Structure 1
Amino acid sequence: MIKLIATDLDGTLLLPDHVSVSDENARALRAASEQGIRIVIASGRTHEVFPAGVRELEFIDYALTSNGSSLMIFDTKTGEPKEQRSVTEMPCDVWNFVYDSMVSAGADPEVYACGKSFMDAEMGDRYGSGLLPDALVAELKSHITFVDDVKETLVGKSAEKVCALTVPEENRASLMAVLENDGRLEITSAIPGNIEVNLKGTSKGRAIAMLCDMLGIMPDEVMAFGDADNDVEMLKYAGFSVAMGNAKDEAKAVCRYVTETNENDGVAKAIYKYAIKPE
């Protein structure tokens, strides 16, 4: 019996525009919630960067943000977060190293800290330029806190994640070598071309295991949806692991089921097939 559903956002619950939740997916999650199933968002994004279509789902119980570095507990009456718990954090010297390495490689990194996304203002004009639809870039930028100097703004503070939407192709291999040679880091990707870096050991799988221990829910009572590298550990944990039809091979390889694509309401179709009791 499914007691908890955890779903990734980009490439999974969200439509290909990376902003919208289809009516069918929203209805399926609501129906599951009404049958007592806990609903969890598990995303590489921080809560501040959740699109409006996700924020409007007031029945969400929990969110695992920044690839599982943080756990948020929601008030299901208002849809607003009421508590945030840290799972893992990158010390200041660690994220500074990642940040400097990305800048040296010609990337424009974001730093997720204090529940927000920070970026140097001078990088803002380049953010997503030519890579993503203008509407999506505008949506993402609207949730970023632009400052004169990220390292100065966050001096002495820990961070949840450092990520780059893209890296110049000619520098990507050398940057990956630098990051992979540092034993303190967990490196994943959520969408083609991006690099996401957390503290070693951080994963959606670790965070969902912690949440399930807290709730007394067993792995075989968990349904999880994902499509990318940063979903793999969560998919391995869940008894009902579901890869999207558009998922990377790495995600499909660890899953029990493969559903339709995110464009074709794959989340809803699997929920109706495996999770919801017949009326």
Structure 2
Amino acid sequence: MSIKLIAMDMDGTLLDADHVTVPARNVAALRAAADRGVKLALASGRTWSLLTGAAEQLGVLDYALVANGAAVRDIAAGKSIYQRPMPNAQALKIIDFLHAENIPFEVYCDGQNYVRAGDKLLVRENNISSYTAFFESRTCFPEALAPALAGRDVEKFNLFYVAREKRERVEAWVKATGPVEISNGFELNMEFAAGGVSKGAALQALAAHLGLGAEEIMAFGDAGNDLEMLSWAGYSFAMENGTEEARAAARYLAPANVDAGVGQMVERYVLNL
């Protein structure tokens, strides 16, 4: 097996159960792979501001596929090499609608995440407790979102919690605003990005940039926003804790995230331990 790029989802995949810590076994295996010349990429629903903690723990990271693939960031260069944003006018319509529905959400723009200051407590109530302190330390809380995002392209909306009885209506309304990709990283969250955005499309763009084929790429994921990436990569692994859809899309099964499944598979298939 000649793996030249490893792409990893974060929550439920690379990270431990606290959604913050990269298990030591994952760190060691990935650093060893990097020492052999393998490129490393995070592939997350989060934007760059919310990936920096994991990047710091790894200490070796080349690229980040952010916001479900709305952009690909070259870490060393500090800039995006691929972008597929949502038009600002469409994003502003969605912002107004979500505020009217009292649905807690964040907006990703240019690598930073934003939450309206007045919604800080509402978001805290609907966030994962172990992740809250890190989240709030990296988030911008403007008094109003529309002025803060005026004239700027949006990467993604992340809705922390949408009640089951609201989901169908919310999805229909958002689709009526224009081309949009709707996915989820957790059971009751919802994520909106521009039409055509997926981790799979972004991974293919990165592969083309590096001159790599699918057979040279290893990918890990566990949920609905990983399906296109898992379907395309030559060596794709769904985590044992992943959804049935992720398992069906992937070619192989990895141990659970809490058992450092990424590290175990890198040891076996890349490091030949």
Q: TM-score, normalised by structure 2?
A: 0.94
User: Which residue of structure 1 aligns with residue 186 of structure 2?
Assistant: 191
Residue 128 (1) aligns with residue 129 (2): no
Residue 74 (1) aligns with residue 75 (2): yes
Bigger Cα displacement from structure 2, 47-56 vs 65-74: 47-56
C-alpha separation between the residues in 2 aligned to 1:273 and 1:179? Answer: 43
User: Which residue of structure 2 aligns with residue 21 of structure 1?
Assistant: 22
Match of 1:141 among 132, 136, 142: 136
C-alpha separation between the residues in 2 aligned to 1:233 and 1:169? Answer: 25
Contact (CA 8 Å) 1:46, 1:66: kept in 2 or not?
Answer: yes
C-alpha separation between the residues in 2 aligned to 1:115 and 1:183? Answer: 23
C-alpha separation between the residues in 2 aligned to 1:161 and 1:84? Answer: 15
The one-letter code matched in structure 1 to 2:124 is: G
The one-letter code matched in structure 1 to 2:171 is: M
C-alpha separation between the residues in 2 aligned to 1:123 and 1:97? Answer: 18
Bigger Cα displacement from structure 2, 157-166 vs 102-111: 102-111
Structure 1: give runs of 5+ residues left out of the alignment. 76-80
User: Which residue of structure 1 aligns with residue 33 of structure 2?
Assistant: 32
The one-letter code matched in structure 1 to 2:245 is: E
User: How big is the shift at 1:109?
Assistant: 1.9
* Deviations 1:131-155 (CA, angstroms, capped at 9, x unpaired): 522x421221221100011012111
* Deviations 1:213-233 (CA, angstroms, capped at 9, x unpaired): 111111011000000111111
The one-letter code matched in structure 2 to 1:37 is: V
Residue 82 to residue 51, structure 1, CA distance change in 2 (3 Å): closer
3-state SS of the aligned residue for 1:5? strand
* Deviations 1:7-46 (CA, angstroms, capped at 9, x unpaired): 0001100001000000000011111111111111111111
C-alpha separation between the residues in 2 aligned to 1:43 and 1:92? Answer: 22
Residue 130 to residue 219, structure 1, CA distance change in 2 (3 Å): closer
C-alpha separation between the residues in 2 aligned to 1:8 and 1:224? Answer: 8
* Deviations 1:78-111 (CA, angstroms, capped at 9, x unpaired): xxx6222342011111112222232233212211
User: Which residue of structure 1 aligns with residue 157 of structure 2?
Assistant: 162
Bigger Cα displacement from structure 2, 224-233 vs 187-196: 187-196
Contact (CA 8 Å) 1:105, 1:168: kept in 2 or not?
Answer: no
Residue 184 to residue 219, structure 1, CA distance change in 2 (3 Å): same
User: Which residue of structure 1 aligns with residue 174 of structure 2?
Assistant: 179
RMSD of aligned Cα (Å) = 1.6
User: How big is the shift at 1:168?
Assistant: 3.4
C-alpha separation between the residues in 1 aligned to 2:138 and 2:127? Answer: 18
User: Which residue of structure 2 aligns with residue 119 of structure 1?
Assistant: 115
Q: Identity, % of aligned pairs?
A: 34
User: Which residue of structure 2 aligns with residue 245 of structure 1?
Assistant: 240
3-state SS of the aligned residue for 1:174? helix
The one-letter code matched in structure 1 to 2:200 is: G
The one-letter code matched in structure 2 to 1:31 is: A
C-alpha separation between the residues in 2 aligned to 1:250 and 1:14? Answer: 20
Residue 21 to residue 153, structure 1, CA distance change in 2 (3 Å): same
User: Which residue of structure 1 aligns with residue 7 of structure 2?
Assistant: 6
* Larger helix percent: 2
Structure 2: give runs of 5+ residues left out of the alignment. none
Match of 2:84 among 79, 83, 88: 88
Contact (CA 8 Å) 2:127, 2:160: kept in 1 or not?
Answer: no
